[in-house]
Structure formats: structure tokens, C-alpha cells
Amino acid sequence: MRSDRIKQGLETMPHRALLRASGLVDGDFGDKPWIGIANSYNNIIPGHVHLDAIAKKVIDGVKAAGGVPFTWGVPGICDGIAMGKGRGMNYSLPSRDHVADNIELMVNAHSMDGWVGVTNCDKITPGMLMAVGRLDLPSIIITGGPMKAGRLGEERLDVISCFEAVGAFKAGKLDESELKEHERCACPGQGSCAGLFTANSMACMAEALGLSLTGCATMLAVDPRKLDLAFETGRRAVQLAKDGTNARALVTRASFENAITIDMCIGGSTNTVLHLPAIAREFGYSLDLDLFDKISRRTPNLTKIRPSGPHMMEDLDAAGGIPAVMHQLVDLLDLDQQTVSGKTIGQVAKKATVSDETVIRSINDPYSRTGGIAILHGNICPGGAVIKMAAVSERMMVFEGPAKVYDSEDDAMESILGGKVVAGDVVVIRFMGPRGAPGMPEMLSPTSAVAGMGLEKSVALITDGRFSGGTRGGAIGHVEPEGWIGGPIVAIKPGEIIKIDLVERSLNLDVPQKEIDERVQAFKPPFRKLSGMLGKYVDTLD
């Protein structure tokens, strides 16, 4: 075991002396695996406020299985709190790499034999999954679970309801007292936000990759079974370490293709297109946008979870969760792929049942014959762009309109809430990419304002940044190359016609290519000076 580097030998006697001061005893220096527990508990993020209780059960499971647990804190950013005015959201994506670095530092510096990630939200879960691949040790992830839906009378709410309520208020559709009731009722307690937004999408991806125990992704934060699952997670971590089952022995390229298939089937967040390739790189694989589109074209969309439809994560869980989705997809998955439970994906899928086919449809009765995410190409986005097609109205599948161009989210929001964006417009928000923003912040406020004002079926949004997993409507993000480095999004002028065809997967500016090229060649980004973490982050991109 790796921990023998410290457990054995005269020269490491001082190391053991220090560990005795931390509470270790003679038996802990024998053949017990040392298991790290990376715990992203904090009392800021509702998805994380209960993770200490989960981590304690993991510790109990590690001890019960004959391991020695070590725990430490991992930072987390709540996108919903950080989003909007100021630079809070600029730190979210860079924090993903910071999470992976944190775990690498702690696990490798202290010679741990394996580790458990206790996580739950947008960048923390992807960062932990990146660390799984990078370290290639016995590893297992437990996500804290979704929040229950809020209720206001007969209406079910989530945090997106609040973002959209701002637009509804500005449009005169809600009064101030109704706005306050949304604020009070939308988020009733602990857990990641109640829809299939980025946090829950990535929890589903962890389970689909085989790195979480069966049923983990959709099991609610308040479900008492979650603590039982945490205990079993600790036990399995020790067994994986004793067996010497490293992460790359479980997760293969086919595992990633399985995960993308499940993602397309459920209509997950567009941010999975950002995170899955980053995770795959740490495992030694390359996933390009064309692979996502190829899998999307052959995978039916079987669920409509918020923001794509009326159902919540609690409904998906009650219908059977990710195992039930796998059950419907047995003909499209590589069933031989392994999981941390010791079972194959095929064994999990075949044992599962779908208890509600209004929530998880049959493959013979899909919402659509193609998946929930589409990859677009065109003269605006020669490197590709991403849209959550499952959340787009039929009337927006083919759309064109004049561009309203903004160089910041704040400017776009002011224009939208000020009534300057009208039906038929295409809102373009540029310089929002990894280098340009910097940090590629999510923009939920503009898309939610559009939806709240009743324009989600008549206004499109395009950005070289990204949109929240809670976004619905004709919101196209991840435009590549980004504007800051001379991507053709910088060539768009106000009033020029933009043509969107989701059927043909195209996004184009109705301007001759020669003119676009000349505008791009003339573009020079404005001078700026970055410092601190954002400066370091941009430097890693060059």
C-alpha cells in the first residue's frame, strides 16, 4: 500500500510521531488502508450544508471496514449566489481546477491508499471527478443529493423560478408581494437545486461513469437512505483499496460514451459538454464536440426535468433514477463497463425498473428521437456552439432575427429589463469566454429575465460564455473560438441578421465571409491587467 511509505521503516518514525499527535494508535500503522475523505461541507451553499453529516457516515463506514479515515475541507462556490453583478461568478469555473489540485495535494502528500469525494455542486463535483482520473487510485464519489421542490400553493418552485420572477415582475406579471413569496418558498432546505441543472447533471454523470454507488445521483438530500449510502460508500472505499482497484481500471472511454448517452437521454445541462472532456483528459481520453453531437443524434430524449419540462429531480428519483434510465437504454450502452459497486452497468440496468413512464419514457415513445443537447456550427462558431435543445420550443427550432450586441452581461441585463429587447431579437453577449470574462461565467440572469418576461419562445441568446443548467429557450453558448481571441462573434454588428437552424445544427451571420474575415482581422482586444487567481487562470489557458 502507498501508506507503507509512512507506516514502515525507521526513517519515517518522526512522521508517525506526528500522526500519533493527530490521534492514530499502533493498529493504524498496520495493514489498514488509509482513506482520505475530501469533504466540501460549508454553511454557505444549500447543497453542502449537510455534507458534514454525510462525511461522518463515510468515516464510520471506513472504520467498520477496517480502514483509517482522514478528512479535510474542499472549497465550494455556489453559482446561484455568485452569479450576477460583480466578479463573483468569474471565480466559479477556475475553482473546478482548484478543487482537483486540492485533492491531489492532500492525497499525494500524505500517501493515502484511496479516497472518497463528498460533494454536490456545479464545479466541485467535476473537480473531484478530475482528481479521480488524475490520481488513478481507489476512489469513490458520493453526491449530497437534490433539494426538494419548493411550493407556492399548487405550484412547484426552484431557484430558477426566482430568477424568472425578476423578469415577470419587470413585465408587470407579478407584484412585489408575489415576488417576496417566491423568494421565501422556492428553496425549502438542503440539497442541490431541485431541477436537472448543472449540479444534478454532474451527479448523474458520476453515477453513469460508475464512480458513485447505485441510486446516489437522484436520491434527495433529505432522504434518510442517503446516510446509509454514505456508510456503504466508506465501506466500498476500503474494499477498493484492499483489492487495489484503481480508477482507470474502472473508467474507460466506453464509460464516457455511456455517460454522454445518458446525458443526452435525460437532457442534462449544457455544462456537461464543458466538464466531461476536462474529466476525460485526466483519465487520458479526448472527447470532442463532434462526439457529443454524434451520440445525441442516435439517442432519444426520454425525460423532461426542469428546466426542460414539468418534472423535478424528486420525480426522476421516484421513477427509478439513473438505473431506470439505463434500463431504458440497454441497447445503446456498453453494458460491460464496471462500477465502484462491483457490478457492471449491465447488471445495474437489468435489475432496475421504471416505476413511472410519464417521467422516464420508453425508448419507443420518446419526447424526441434525438438527444437533449445539440452542437451547432457556422460562420459565427466554426469551432462549435452548444444548446440545450430539450428546453427549446418547437417554434424556435428555426429562427432568425436582428442582433442586439452587448459586451457584458450587465449591459445585456439592463437592456432586457429595460424593455429594449423585443420579440424576434437575437441577443449577443460576447467577451464572456474563459479568457474574455475571464473565467467563462454562467449567465442565468439574462436567460431567466427573457423567460420571465414571456419572451423565451421569441428571443434567442448567443454567447461565447456559457449559460446555467437551469436555462431554457433559445440560448446558445460555448461559441468557439471566443471573441477575446478573435472569434468571429466579434464581427457581429447591431441589426445584422443571425440565422439559427437547430434541425440542420447551424448558426450563421447573414454577412459575406470576406466581410466577417476583415472585421475579425481588424479586431484588437482592449488592454486590461489581471492579478490574483483570475490572472493565474488565464495564464494557464495560453
Tell me the CB-side half-sphere exposure of residue 383, using CA atoms within 13 A: 13
> Which residue, among 274, 470, 460, 505, has the nearest Cα to 370 in the 3D structure?
505
Burial 38-62 (b: 16+ CB within 10 A, else e): bbbbbeebbbbbbbeebbbbbbbbb
Measured on CA atoms in the order 68, 72, 78, 79, is the torsion positive or negative?
A: negative
Identify any residues that bridge with 374 across adjacent strands, giving them in sequence order. Answer: 387
- Catalytic annotation, pick one of 192, 212, 448, 468: 468
DSSP string, 209-261: TT-S-TTTTTS-TT-THHHHHHHHHHHHHHHHHHHT--HHHH--HHHHHHHHH
Q: How many degrees, rounded to 5, is the angle at CA 93 between CA 164 and CA 322?
A: 70
Cell 472511454 -> residue: 253
Task: Please enumerate in sequence order all residues whose Cβ is within 8 A of that of 440, keeping only pairs 6 or more positions apart, or say none.
Answer: 93, 274, 432, 433, 434, 465, 466
Q: Is 468 a catalytic residue?
A: yes
Give how far Cα 412 sits from Cα of 47, 324, 435, 456, Å. Answer: 29, 41, 19, 15
What gap in Å lies between CA 70 and CA 87, rounded to an integer?
Answer: 34
Burial 375-394 (b: 16+ CB within 10 A, else e): bbbbbbbeebbbbbbbbbee
The set of cell numbers assigned to 97 is 481546477
Which 3-state string (H, E, C) describes 316-368? HHHCCHHHHHHHHCCCCCCCCCECCCCCEHHHHHHHCCCCCCCCCCCCCCCCE
Annotated catalytic residues are 468
